[in-house]
Amino acid sequence: MRERGDEWTVLMRSAISGDSAAYHRLLKAVTPVLRAAAQRGLARAGQPVDQSEDIVQEVLLAVHLKRHTWDVNAPFAPWLFAIARNKLIDWLRRRGQRVFVNIDDFADSLPGDPAPEIPAASEVAVQLQSLPARQREVLQSIAVDSSSIKETAAKFAMSEGAVRVALHRGLASLTTKLRDA
Amino acid sequence: METDQLIRTLAADSSRPARPVSLVLALALLAAMPVSMAMLFAGLGVRPDVMAAMHNPFFDLKFAVTLALAISAVGVALHLSRPEASLRGWAWLLLIPAGLLVGGIASEMMLPQNLPMMTRLIGSNSRVCLTAVPLMSMPLLAAALIGLRHGAPTRPAVSGAIAGLLSAGLAATLYASHCTDDSPLFVATWYTIATALVAAIGAAIGARVLRF
pLDDT tens-digit readout, A49-102: 888 999 999 999 999 999 999 999 999 999 999 999 999 998 998 887 666 555
Asked if the model's pLDDT at residue A104 lies above 90, the reply is: no
User: What is d(CA B165, CA A181) in angstroms, rounded to the nearest whole number?
Assistant: 31
Q: Are A49 and A119 in contact (CB under 8 A)?
A: yes
Asked if the model's pLDDT at residue A110 lies above 60, the reply is: no
First to last CA, chain B: 21
Contacts of A83 in chain B (CB under 8 A): 83, 152, 154
User: Rounded mean pLDDT of A109-123?
Assistant: 64
What's the predicted TM-score (pTM) here? 0.89
The answer as to whether B5 is a domain residue is no
pLDDT at A99: 61
User: What is d(CA B23, CA B31) in angstroms, rounded to the nearest whole number?
Assistant: 12
For A124-180, CATH gives 1.10.10.10
What is the pLDDT tens value at each position of chain B, 212 positions in all? 889 999 999 999 987 888 999 999 999 999 999 999 999 999 999 888 988 888 899 999 999 999 999 999 999 999 999 999 988 889 999 999 999 999 999 999 888 888 888 888 888 888 899 999 999 999 999 999 999 999 999 999 999 999 999 999 999 999 999 998 889 999 999 999 999 999 999 999 999 999 98
Which contacts of A38-42 are long-range, i.e. CB under 8 A and separated by 24 or more positions?
A38/A84, A38/A88, A39/A115, A40/A105, A40/A110, A41/A85, A41/A88, A41/A92, A41/A101, A41/A102, A41/A105, A41/A106, A42/A88
In chain B, the number of structural domains is: 1
pLDDT at B125: 82
Contacts of B18 in chain A (CB under 8 A): 65, 68
Nearest CA among B212, B155, B148 for reference residue A87: B212
pLDDT at A109: 45
Is A139 an 8 Å CB contact of chain B?
Answer: yes
User: What is d(CA A175, CA B212) in angstroms, rounded to the nearest whole number?
Assistant: 8
| Tens-place pLDDT, residues A12-45 | 999 999 999 999 999 999 999 999 999 999 988 8
Is A64 an 8 Å CB contact of chain B?
Answer: yes
| Contact between chains at A20 and B82 (C-beta distance less than 8 A) | no
The answer as to whether B91 is a domain residue is yes
Which residue in B5, B15, B81 is closest to A69 by CB distance?
B81
The dihedral of CA B198, B199, B204, B206: what is its sign? Answer: positive
First to last CA, chain A: 35
Contacts of A81 in chain B (CB under 8 A): 84
The dihedral of CA A18, A20, A24, A26: what is its sign? Answer: negative
| Contact between chains at B3 and A31 (C-beta distance less than 8 A) | yes
pLDDT at B7: 95
| Contact between chains at A83 and B11 (C-beta distance less than 8 A) | no
| Contact between chains at A67 and B20 (C-beta distance less than 8 A) | no
Q: What is the span of the domain harbouring residue B75?
A: 18-209
Which residue in A57, A62, A142 is closest to B12 by CB distance?
A142
Nearest CA among A89, A85, A90 for reference residue A37: A85
Contacts of A52 in chain B (CB under 8 A): none
Asked if the model's pLDDT at residue A2 lies above 90, the reply is: no
Asked if the model's pLDDT at residue A116 lies above 90, the reply is: no
Number of residues that make up chain A: 181
Contacts of B151 in chain A (CB under 8 A): 66, 69
Q: Are B204 and B148 in contact (CB under 8 A)?
A: no
Residue in A35, A57, A68, A91 to test binding to B, most B beta-carbons within 10 Å: A68
Is A23 an 8 Å CB contact of chain B?
Answer: yes
Q: Give the ipTM.
A: 0.88
| Nearest-by-CA chain A residue for B13 | A168
Q: Quick count: other Cβ atoms within 10 Å of Cβ B11?
A: 20
User: What is d(CA A85, CA A135) in angstroms, rounded to the nearest whole number?
Assistant: 29
| Nearest-by-CA chain A residue for B211 | A179
The answer as to whether B153 is a domain residue is yes
3-state secondary structure of B113: coil
Angle at A161 between CA A157 and CA A166, to 5 degrees: 80
| Tens-place pLDDT, residues A144-170 | 898 999 999 999 999 999 999 999 999
User: What is d(CA A40, CA B81) in angstroms, rounded to the nearest whole number?
Assistant: 27
| Contact between chains at B15 and A164 (C-beta distance less than 8 A) | yes
Residue in B4, B5, B88 to test binding to A, most A beta-carbons within 10 Å: B5
Stretch (H or E) spanning B83: none
Stretch (H or E) spanning A54: helix A52-65
Contacts of A148 in chain B (CB under 8 A): 12
Asked if the model's pLDDT at residue A107 lies above 70, the reply is: no
User: What is d(CA A65, CA A42) in angstroms, rounded to the nearest whole number?
Assistant: 24
- A vs B, Cβ pairs < 8 A, gives 109
